[in-house]
Amino acid sequence: MFVDRSMTRDVVTVGPETEIVAAQALMVRKSIRHLPVVEKDDVLVGIITDRDIRSAMPSTVLSEREKTSGEKQLASMKVKEIMTIKPVSVSPTDTLEDVLLMMQKVKVGAFPVVDREGKLKGIISIRDLMRAFTHVLGLEEPGALLGIVVENKVGQMKRIVDAITELGVSFGSILVSQTWEEGKRAVFPYLLTNNAAKVKKHLREKGFTLLDPMEWCLDELPKR
């Protein structure tokens, strides 16, 4: 899954000389939180967020006189004064998996997408990623999520698939994650069925150990 297929192409942008109050109004009007800053030929030079703007606003603990002075100063400020210069960006050919890992590492909610010449081609946000993975995982179709704990060895996935397809049930998707028990893996099939109880009973009869997905913690690491 490439960024080019999931990014937002119709990007709202501002220039470095745009006034901050105008940028804020634009964010509110468009219901967005990130504004790439571009110069001639859509070359990316920075990015400004709603947090940047809030940080530039006068503090609520100031006196009325200080607030008035701060608001006047804010009204004259330009985007270039508070934007992040040379922000972290991604390429249209990066994968969505790459973007997820980068967001986790950099702690931001969106990346501008640029080509080799540094020209803005789009923006990809958490919202775009959620939409893409919702589609890929088949979550738009009604179904049920199951959790199964298996040994971490070859052939376990086939056992699960075979057991479930015996019932004529279709898969929306399958996720595999590590578990807190060393030598084990947690498998989460999303099944396109409304009769999860029947599937669970069948899996238990086959000797599988079921896990409640609601009790699963992705941040819990295997015990050593």
For residue 33, pLDDT over 90 is answered with yes
What confidence score (pLDDT) does residue 221 get?
Answer: 47
Tens of pLDDT along 172-197?
999 888 777 788 899 999 999 989 99
Q: Which helix (H) or strand (E) holds 169?
A: none
**CATH architecture under which domain 144-215 falls:** 2-Layer Sandwich (3.30)
Displacement of CA 212 from its chain's centroid (Å): 24
DSSP string, 65-123: HHHHHHHHHHHT-BGGGTSEES---B-TTSBHHHHHHHHHHHT-SEEEEE-TT-BEEEE
Give the C-alpha distances (Å, rounded to integers) separating 203 from 108, 160, 207: 41, 8, 7
State the maximum Cα–Cα separation within the chain, in Å, rounded to a whole number: 75
Tens of pLDDT along 82-132?
999 989 999 999 999 999 999 989 988 999 999 999 999 999 999 999 888
Q: What is the mean pLDDT of the chain?
A: 87
What confidence score (pLDDT) does residue 69 get?
Answer: 54
Tens of pLDDT along 40-77?
999 999 999 999 988 877 554 445 655 555 556 667 78
CATH topology of domain 3-134: CBS-domain (3.10.580)
Cα–Cα distance measured from residue 175 to residue 191, given in angstroms and rounded to the nearest whole number: 12
pTM summary value: 0.72
Task: List where CATH 3.30.70.260 sits in the chain.
Answer: 144-215
Mean pLDDT of 168-174: 92
